[in-house]
Structure 1
Amino acid sequence: MHDLDHRLLSALRDCGTHARVAAVARALSFTGEHGALWLAAGLAGAAVDRERRSAWLRGTALTAAAHLASMGVKRVVRRPRPDVAPLVRTAGRHSFPSSHATSAAAAAVAYGALRPAGAHLVPPLAAAMCVSRLVVGVHYPSDVAAGAALGALTARLGSNWMTKGGSRV
């Protein structure tokens, strides 16, 4: 797995040599720091979609919970980041799991359940966020895959709570 991780990272990292790709990857990385993009999206959804406000707020809480879970796993696993020149600064030294991928996948599952409001835009943006972490060189593919799995699982486990109280999704 380690060799595959390095080969995939190298291939995707090469995409970062293209100025436009690097700029988009940097922007996604910046907006995804600490789940900011996804938390803001959830709060915006709650403000605009009054009918499903409670569900949006619960989805936002699930996204935050997933992000916090990934931070806890990072503190336990303590896997160092890839030994490449990154295109962005990182908030920490550890890479497993990717917190960006965790919060992105949690948002994709939680907000995606709020059809049609979140189902069409959020999953592709979440996938782009995940790939951006490889392009900027701060995560191995297995970090991103594990983060996405953790985020999706967290949101899925909380889906019954998200629809609690008769909120229509």
Structure 2
Amino acid sequence: MAETPRGEDAVLVAVQSAVAERPGVLPAARALSHFGEHSLGWLAVAALGAWLVPARRRQYATAGVGAFAAHAAAVLIKRIVRRARPHHPAIAVNVGTPSRLSFPSAHATSTAAAAVLLARPTGLPLPALLVPPMALSRLVLGVHYPSDVVAGVAVGTAVAGVVARAAEVLEGGSR
């Protein structure tokens, strides 16, 4: 008989039980997973914005740099922490992953950075619109613990702040 899930495993099982069975949820979560893989979707959005809105090109470029830097930071932290992904038998893993490392969620990290930085040129509340679905998708897919996602959002937000400040300093120096 399988051990009853506890702690974050129990939270994942509860999230999957409450959300994953609804129509369209798993395909949407998988689509978000593919979009966010290696921050490539956010890099494409930043490049498209820079191309379509030349007046805001630097801000879009900064968003791309921030998304990539956040992803790189998450990968570095994963290699230091080396926390394994969820593996309790009650947790359904609904997508493949490029590594067995879990902390922090690189998807949550790059999405938080991209959302914060893309909010500048668009004027939209992107952190509130983009981060929760990506964060929830990582739980629905069973590839991250809740603390992985929370840490990813925190790291991504911090990286966005550093990148935005560096862009301001560089822009001030180029005038």
Normalised to the residue count of structure 1, the TM-score between the two structures is: 0.89
Query: What is the aligned counterpart of 1:112 among 96, 116, 119?
Result: 119
Amino acid at match of 1:54: R
Structure 1's consecutive aligned runs of 4 or more residues displaced over 6 angstroms after TM superposition are none
Contact 1:112–1:123, Cα closer than 8 Å, also in 2: no
How far apart, in 2, do the equivalents of 1:160 and 1:47 lie?
23
TM-fit CA distance, 1:158: 1.8
What is aligned with 1:41? 45
Residue-by-residue CA offset, 1:42-95 (whole Å, 9 max, x unaligned): 111111110010121122111101100100000011111111331100010010
TM-superposed deviation, 1:157: 1.7
1:86-125 correspondence to structure 2 within 5 Å: 86-116=93-123, 119-121=124-126, 123-125=128-130
Correspondence for 1:157: 162
Residue number in structure 1 paired with 2:22: 18
Partner of 2:151: 146
Q: In structure 1, how many angstroms separate the alpha carbons of the residues matched to 2:15 and 2:28?
A: 14
Number of positions where the alignment pairs a residue of Structure 1 with one of Structure 2: 163
Q: How far apart in 2 are the matches of 1:17 and 1:130?
A: 17
Larger Rg: 2
Structure 1 residue 121 displacement after superposition? 4.8
The one-letter code of the counterpart of 1:17 is E
The equivalent position to 2:78 in structure 1, one of 74, 79, 85, is 74
Q: Quick one: distance in 2 between partners of 1:90 and 1:122?
A: 24
Higher mean Cα deviation, 137-146 or 55-64?
A: 55-64
TM-score by length of 2: 0.86
Question: What RMSD, in angstroms, separates the aligned Cα atoms of the two structures?
Answer: 1.7
Q: Aligned equivalents of 1:50 and 1:43: distance in 2?
A: 11
Q: Gaps spanning 5+ residues in structure 1: where?
A: none
1:86-127 superposed Cα distances (whole Å, 9 cap, x missing partner) = 1100010010000000000000111112242xx245641232
The equivalent residue for 1:7 is 10
Asked whether the 8 Å contact 1:59–1:162 carries over to 2, the reply is no
Q: Give yes or no for contact 1:104–1:127 (8 Å, CA) kept in 2.
A: no
Distance 1:103 1:13 in 2: 23
Q: Which moved more, 1:143-152 or 1:22-31?
A: 22-31
Structure 2 unaligned segments of length 5 or more: list them.
none
